[in-house]
Structure 1
Amino acid sequence: MSKVYTHMTMSLDGFIADPQDGIDELFDWYNAGSVSVPTADERWSFSLDEASAELMRDVLAKAGALVCGRRLFDITNGWDDSHPGGAPVVVVTHHTPDDADRWPKTSFADDVESGIARAKELAGDKDISIASADIARQALDLGLVDEVDVSLVPVLMGEGIPYFANLGAAPHRFEDPVVIPGVRATHLRYPVKRD
């Protein structure tokens, strides 16, 4: 059964990037092992420990669509219309780029609900991943998220961009996590608790 989940690599103090969108302190785990995990785009691959590699292979195999915000889309230049996960991308934005035809495999949506709906259409029976903190926050508040995943890395950043901030419908409650210990990251999967 498909699910909508959000996944971020996060510091121990809750940040997914530094104040300038830097991720250098966080992404060491993507190259901390000897197990090669290729992606759908030959420009990128990971060198992971066995537990992290198994997790990443599972994520890549089940990838049906990715939802992100305009900020991440712009920072990555839309992954040149070829996200490493191999899934189509849906960008939630108030302003579709004037040159949107540069990304023929990318869809644009006006709000989080329509973005998730479009991602479900594209994904079929595969999973939908939310890859932007603000989109994840909004989707969680709207009750659209089935699971929150965190790759927790051993660093304290002190400041930066938080994974979740300004939640409008908090508290959100979760089931006990699935814990996957890795090298340079502990992976936590929290199913959303449904009342």
Structure 2
Amino acid sequence: MGKVITGATMSLDGYLAGPDESGFDLLFQWYENGDTEIPTASPDVPPLRLSAASAALVEAEWGDTGALIVGRYLYDMTNAWGGRHPMDVTTVVLTHRRPEDRPDDENFVFVTDGIEAAVAKARELAGDKNVVVNGGQMARQALEAGLLDEVGVDLAPVILGGGKTLFGELGATPVQFEGPTTVVEGTGVTHLRYRVKNQPSTP
């Protein structure tokens, strides 16, 4: 069985997005500042152009991923990535209400019974590969439920001054991690990977 992982590109002051969903152009400059092209499966997302070091890491991690978990907000905001997630795996969408005109298929599966059910479904779809949980609310819920094994941070050299954090308003702290187990220096980004050492303490 694979691992359950979350991760995100983050500013130096710890934000995944700036105020009012700003700052993405600064956070994700490393997606297009290299010479190594990585195609995506989404018709709406152009190929990534990464430095050699970043590309080697991303290709390995994408290859080890068997399913994703995202929230309904991201699914709607991206317009479902044009029909297929860029990583080319089935995406489990955790939502209070499934879209009436969208049946489950090889692209998207909708779960309404909470994060535990979403992780269980994603594990079933992933088989021996890893499950990746989107940052923010999904990551917070997975960590609080004791379901996360690893956390990845792609640290971008920018300060956003506010916005959304990786785990949102985490209700149970402290949480400790082991590592970094991986440190990769890309161009305009430092990739850090950690193992969850202990699960959150009940407040």
Instruction: Give TM-score, length-normalised by structure 1.
Output: 0.93
User: Is the counterpart of residue 134 in structure 1 residue 137 in structure 2?
Assistant: yes
Name the counterpart of 2:146: 143
In the aligned structure 2, how far is the partner of 1:122 from the partner of 1:104?
Answer: 10
Checking the alignment, whether the CA contact within 8 Å between 1:39 and 1:60 is kept in structure 2 is no
Superposition deviation, residue 103 in structure 1: 6.5
Checking the alignment, whether the CA contact within 8 Å between 2:136 and 2:165 is kept in structure 1 is yes
In the aligned structure 1, how far is the partner of 2:102 from the partner of 2:64?
Answer: 27
User: CA 1:82–1:172 in structure 2 vs 1: closer, same or farther (change >3 Å)?
Assistant: same
Superposition deviation, residue 62 in structure 1: 1.1
Q: Give the 3-state SS of the residue equivalent to 1:17 in structure 2.
A: coil
In the aligned structure 2, how far is the partner of 1:44 from the partner of 1:120?
Answer: 28
User: CA 1:27–1:88 in structure 2 vs 1: closer, same or farther (change >3 Å)?
Assistant: same
Deviates more, 1:41-50 or 1:175-184: 41-50
Name the counterpart of 1:155: 158
Q: Give the 3-state SS of the residue equivalent to 1:64 in structure 2.
A: strand
Q: Give the 3-state SS of the residue equivalent to 2:37 in structure 1.
A: strand
User: Is the counterpart of residue 176 in structure 1 residue 179 in structure 2?
Assistant: yes
Superposition deviation, residue 44 in structure 1: 2.7
Name the counterpart of 1:101: 103
- Name stretches of at least 5 consecutive residues in structure 2 with no aligned partner: none
4+ runs of 1 displaced by more than 6 Å? none
Superposition deviation, residue 194 in structure 1: 4.4
In the aligned structure 2, how far is the partner of 1:123 from the partner of 1:103?
Answer: 14
* RMSD (Å) for aligned C-alpha atoms: 1.7
Checking the alignment, whether the CA contact within 8 Å between 1:63 and 1:86 is kept in structure 2 is no
State how 1:109-124 maps to structure 2 within 5 Å: 109-110=111-112, 111-124=114-127
In the aligned structure 1, how far is the partner of 2:105 from the partner of 2:26?
Answer: 30
Deviates more, 1:152-161 or 1:21-30: 21-30
1:27-74 superposed Cα distances (whole Å, 9 cap, x missing partner): 100011111122334653111111100111012211200100111111
Name the counterpart of 1:20: 20
Name the counterpart of 1:167: 170
State how 1:58-97 maps to structure 2 within 5 Å: 58-97=60-99
User: CA 1:194–1:170 in structure 2 vs 1: closer, same or farther (change >3 Å)?
Assistant: closer
Checking the alignment, whether the CA contact within 8 Å between 1:91 and 1:109 is kept in structure 2 is yes
In the aligned structure 2, how far is the partner of 1:130 from the partner of 1:33?
Answer: 26
In the aligned structure 1, how far is the partner of 2:82 from the partner of 2:38?
Answer: 21
In the aligned structure 2, how far is the partner of 1:66 from the partner of 1:104?
Answer: 12
- Total equivalences in the alignment: 195
Matched residue type, 1:157 = L
Superposition deviation, residue 102 in structure 1: 8.6
- Name stretches of at least 5 consecutive residues in structure 1 with no aligned partner: none
Identity percentage of aligned residues? 45
Instruction: Give TM-score, length-normalised by structure 2.
Output: 0.90
